[in-house]
Amino acid sequence: MNNEIKVGSIVSIKGESGYYKVTNYRGGKVNLGAIFGRSIYHKGVPVENVYENGGEWYDNWTKSETYMCM
């Protein structure tokens, strides 16, 4: 389940809902921020607690009203 996590990846935290972009990855820990924007929501999350989830996020995003209005 742990695809290669790198800066810029869209991920989710295990056991929680929501999608985040990896903004920094050092020493086995990641910082997670907004996909669009510059806000940081979580700092120092162990990489074992996150998983790649870009495909699911994109499927939900393309069905959103915001995307449809573009």
User: Could you tell me the residue ranges of all domains in the chain?
Assistant: 10-68
In tens, the pLDDT along 4-62 reads 899 999 999 999 999 999 999 999 999 999 999 999 999 999 999 999 999 999 999 99
Query: Cα separations (Å) of 21 from 13, 39, 69?
Result: 11, 10, 23
Give the pLDDT band (50/70/90) at residue 68.
very high
Nearest to 35 by CA among 68, 15, 4, 64: 64
pTM for the predicted model, two decimal places: 0.88
Q: How confident is the model over 61-65, as a mean pLDDT?
A: 95
